[in-house]
């Protein structure tokens, strides 16, 4: 096999067994790699009725075919399985340095089942793979464990680690690579924790790759790396990070404020943007493996109540989720809250979304000090967030920590009253930090139909609406007006396929915005030898999207779950989008029609599935009718 190794590692922590396996080539050409291939393996082998935190649950790490190439943005990895936060299909992507090392060691992925008797870690050194006891790391923060493992084995050993939150099964726990790069969403840190698996460590002796057409690939690489490096977006993000234009987002109404109750806060935009982060706290810029964009931030807050030593800094999503969303415009506090979340190991988006919901519930009187254990929940009270709420969530300690450790939907269902209506989530996953009411109406559709729940990276709809990319070869050559529903369903059909390609190829969506469709096809063919044309590639992307929909259907999710909460669909109360309605149902109905999806079941018709070579899969989901 080319590009890919074709080989995965099967680990059963309960039995203590480790086996390697060669996968059929057809799995790759049909499902690409990354989260697409993970979905295929889950579909084939996953126990659908298994609780995601039970030993039977599958935890899948999967590379894309480009891992290890010296190409900007190409070396991400996907983790996937059933999300403990949502109960649905979940996947999450991470940059950093794990993917290339796993590839060099000779593997495309790892499937982990079972539960170790005691705290353990998995150590992969080429063919030598061992489950090792790791009691000394249990209970400790990600930063300390990451350093300890590197001190013990070597700085070039690549480390995935969970924090105390994952050990304590907090439903939105993360897995962190090199102490800085997160598999952030959907709670797979808790799945690792449920298996008593504290860390996964990999080191390869060499860097061998075998490509289908090395010369053609080198030609492409020589074109693409400079193109990505010199792109305007790369320049902007290198200088001021992913929050570079937060201030512009505030003016357009894209940046959520106080649990999405407001779309305008001018002073906040002036205080929390990436330029201010650079000016006040930035000490270094960092990159993921082989990337020239360098959007990662390293920060230090030298003094004040939120002082932190030099270390990983926040990105746009974190700045907003732990800033404006919970009513704060204190950037130093955001930096500290971000660092705390990294160390205890929780997703900043879901943490911010859940705390923001709780603050609104407290303001409305739907939860009181009786339910919070005496903690007052006030907008912008960052000292309480940092010193009390986040640590209590990670430890699942106290009334409030326990309530919020399950995410906003579970907390609202437990609280009752009207509180579900002002959760801001889809399928149980908290909405990321782009408000469709100000950012673009198509994003509302993209959030709703995304298999894992509200997700801004499941498809490039956000970028397509903002005019950051065009793909004339596949029919996307028109400008979109963000604030209408015009052409959004049609665009979403293209976007879900492209998103599935990106996430299955495990490519960074900042880097791959510069890649044209013929270049994408050229990469797949020269690296992995898929022998695709553009139509084959798009078909694979759509197939991956459909398969994830089928998995969700087996979990009981149907068309009615492709929904947004009332807060998302009520007109904005202020700012640029004030009073504007999103024609959500209109876009959704059209999208369903174009994708030939059943309006009750939420899955494609038998005919459509057969058209995509999924006749066997169709029988499994349609057999009862």
Complex with other proteins: residue 278 or 354, whichever CB lies closer: 278
Residues in contact with other proteins, shown as a per-residue x/- string from 161 to 200 under the rule CB under 8 A:
----------------------------------------
Report the distance separating Cα 165 and Cα 426, nearest Å.
23
- Token look-up 């990105």 returns 315
- The nearest distance, CB 582 to other proteins, in angstroms, is 16
CB of 488 or CB of 543, closer to other proteins: 488
> Does 317 interact with other proteins (rule: CB under 8 A)?
yes
Measured between alpha carbons, how far is residue 407 from residues 317, 353, 450 in Å? 17, 8, 18
Minimum separation from the CB atom of position 606 to other proteins (A)? 36
482 is a site residue for other proteins (CB under 8 A):
yes
Q: How far is the CB of 249 from other proteins (least distance, A)?
A: 6
Chain positions 400 to 439 lying near other proteins, rule: CB under 8 A, are 432, 434, 439
Write b or e for each residue in 243-274: b if 16 or more Cβ atoms lie within 10 A of its Cβ, otherwise e: bbbbbebbbbbbbbbbbbbbbbbeebbebbbb
CB of 243 to other proteins, least distance (A): 6
295 binds other proteins (CB under 8 A): yes
What's the CA gap between 184 and 351, in Å, rounded?
A: 11
> Which of 252, 324, 425, 526 contacts other proteins by CB under 8 A?
252
Helix (H) or strand (E) holding 175: strand 175-177
457 binds other proteins (CB under 8 A): yes
Question: Which region, judged by CB under 8 A, interacts with other proteins, from 238-246, 284-292, 351-359, 413-421?
Answer: 238-246
**Which distant-in-sequence residues (6+ apart) come within 8 Å of 337 by Cβ?**
322, 348, 382, 385, 386, 390
Shortest separation between residue 456's beta carbon and other proteins, angstroms = 6
Select 457 or 517, whichever has its Cβ closest to other proteins. Answer: 457
CA 128/CA 141 separation, integer angstroms: 27
Q: What is the 3-state secondary structure (H, E, C) of 221-289?
A: HHHHHHHHHHCHHHHHHHHHCCCCCHHHHHHHCCCCECCCCECCCHHHHHHHCHHHHHHHCEEEEECCC
Q: Residue 254 Cβ, how far from other proteins at the closest point, in Å?
A: 6
**Count of residues that bind other proteins according to CB under 8 A:** 44
Closest CA to 379 of 363, 394, 396, 397: 363
Query: Nearer to other proteins by C-beta: 67 or 233?
Result: 233
Listed ranges 94-102, 191-199, 311-319, 326-334: which one lies at the site for other proteins (CB under 8 A): 311-319
With residue 517 as reference, give the H or E element that holds it.
Answer: helix 517-523
Q: Does 277 engage in binding with other proteins (CB under 8 A)? A: no
CA 101, CA 115: separation in Å to the nearest integer?
25
Q: Is 537 helix (H, G, I), strand (E, B) or coil?
A: helix
Pick the binder of other proteins from 64, 249, 436, 529 (CB under 8 A).
249
Q: Which of 75, 86, 120, 242 binds other proteins (CB under 8 A)?
A: 242
Task: For residue 576, state whether it binds other proteins (rule: CB under 8 A).
Answer: yes
CA 187 to chain centre: 10
Binding test (CB under 8 A) with other proteins, winner from 275, 311, 380, 586: 275
Question: Smallest gap, in angstroms, from Cβ of residue 445 to other proteins?
Answer: 17
- 3-class SS string, 306-338: CCEEEEECCCHHHHHHCCHHHCCCCHHHHHHHH
The correct pick among 92, 225, 273, 348 for binding other proteins (CB under 8 A) is 273
Stretch that binds other proteins, among 124-132, 330-338, 463-471, 536-544 (CB under 8 A): 463-471
- Packing angle between helix 34-45 and helix 534-554, nearest 10 degrees? 40
Identify whether the C-beta of residue 539 lies closer than 8 Å to the C-beta of residue 612: yes
The answer to whether 123 and 23 are in contact (CB under 8 A) is no
We find the least distance from the C-beta atom of residue 479 to other proteins, in angstroms, to be: 8
> How far is Cα 44 from Cα 38, in angstroms, rounded to an integer?
10
DSSP type of residue 381: -
Whole-number minimum distance, CB 314 to other proteins, in Å?
11
The residue range among 324-332, 380-388, 458-466, 585-593 that interacts with other proteins, by the rule CB under 8 A, is 458-466
Note whether 326 binds other proteins by CB under 8 A. no
> Residue 8: in which H helix or E strand, if any?
strand 7-12
User: Coil, strand, or helix at residue 445?
Assistant: helix
34 versus 529: smaller Cβ distance to other proteins: 34
| Binding-site ranges for other proteins (CB under 8 A) | 231-233, 236-237, 239-249, 251-252, 254, 264, 269, 273-275, 295, 315-317, 432, 434, 439, 456-457, 462, 465-468, 482-483, 509-510, 575-576
């Amino acid at each position: 096999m080319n590009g890919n190794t074709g080989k995965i590692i099967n680990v059963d922590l309960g039995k203590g067994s480790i086996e390697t396996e060669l996968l059929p080539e057809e799995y790759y050409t049909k499902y690409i790699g990354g989260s697409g291939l993970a979905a295929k393996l889950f579909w084939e082998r996953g126990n659908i009725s298994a609780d995601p935190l039970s030993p039977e649950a599958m935890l899948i790490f999967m590379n894309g075919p480009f891992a290890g190439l010296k190409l900007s943005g190409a070396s991400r990895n996907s983790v996937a399985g059933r999300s403990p936060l949502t109960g649905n299909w979940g996947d999450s992507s991470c940059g950093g340095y794990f993917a290339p090392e796993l590839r060099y060691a000779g593997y495309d992925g790892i499937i982990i089942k079972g539960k170790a008797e005691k705290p353990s870690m998995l150590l992969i050194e080429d063919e030598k793979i061992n489950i090792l006891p790791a009691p000394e790391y249990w209970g400790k923060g990600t930063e300390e464990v990451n350093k300890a493992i590197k001190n013990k084995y070597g700085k070039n050993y690549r480390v995935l680690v969970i924090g105390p939150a994952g050990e304590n099964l907090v439903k939105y726990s993360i897995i962190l690579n090199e102490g800085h790069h997160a598999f952030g969403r959907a709670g797979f840190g808790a799945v690792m924790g449920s298996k008593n698996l504290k860390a996964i460590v990999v080191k390869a002796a060499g860097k061998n790759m075998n490509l289908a057409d090395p010369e053609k690939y080198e030609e492409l690489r020589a074109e693409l790396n400079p193109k990505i490096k010199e792109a305007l977006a790369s320049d902007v993000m290198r200088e001021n990070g992913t929050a570079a234009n937060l201030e512009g987002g505030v003016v357009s109404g894209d940046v959520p404020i106080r649990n999405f109750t407001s779309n305008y806060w001018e002073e906040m935009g002036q205080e929390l943007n990436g330029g201010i982060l650079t000016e006040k706290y930035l000490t270094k810029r960092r990159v993921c493996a082989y990337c020239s964009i360098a959007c990662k931030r390293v920060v230090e807050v030298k003094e004040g109540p939120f002082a932190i030593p030099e270390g990983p800094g926040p990105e746009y999503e974190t700045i907003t989720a732990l800033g404006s969303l919970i009513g704060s415009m204190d950037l130093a506090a955001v930096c500290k809250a971000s660092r705390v979340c990294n160390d205890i190991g929780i997703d900043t988006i879901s943490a911010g979304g859940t705390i923001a919901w709780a603050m609104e519930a407290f303001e409305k009187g739907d939860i009181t000090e009786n339910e919070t254990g005496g903690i007052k929940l006030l907008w912008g009270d960052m000292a309480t967030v940092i010193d009390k709420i986040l640590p209590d969530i990670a430890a699942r300690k106290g009334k409030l920590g326990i309530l919020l450790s399950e995410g906003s939907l579970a907390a609202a269902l437990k609280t009752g009253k009207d509180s579900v209506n002002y959760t801001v989530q889809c399928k149980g996953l908290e909405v990321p930090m782009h408000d469709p009411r100000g950012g673009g109406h198509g994003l509302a559709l993209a959030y709703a139909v995304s298999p894992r729940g509200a997700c801004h990276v499941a498809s490039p709809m956000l970028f397509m609406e903002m005019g950051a990319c065009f793909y004339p070869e596949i029919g996307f050559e028109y400008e979109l007006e963000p604030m209408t529903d015009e052409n959004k369903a049609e665009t979403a059909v293209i976007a879900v396929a492209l998103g599935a390609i990106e996430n299955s190829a495990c490519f960074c969506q900042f880097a791959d915005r510069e890649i044209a469709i013929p270049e994408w096809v050229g990469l797949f063919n020269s690296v992995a030898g898929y022998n695709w044309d553009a139509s084959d590639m798009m078909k694979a992307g759509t197939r991956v999207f459909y398969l994830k929909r089928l998995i969700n259907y087996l979990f009981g999710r149907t068309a009615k779950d492709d929904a947004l909460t009332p807060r998302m669909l009520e007109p904005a109360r202020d700012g640029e989008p004030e009073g504007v309605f999103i024609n959500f149902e209109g876009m959704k109905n059209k999208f369903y029609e174009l994708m030939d999806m059943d309006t009750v079941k939420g899955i494609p018709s038998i005919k459509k599935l057969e058209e995509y070579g999924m006749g066997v899969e169709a029988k499994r989901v349609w057999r009862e009718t």
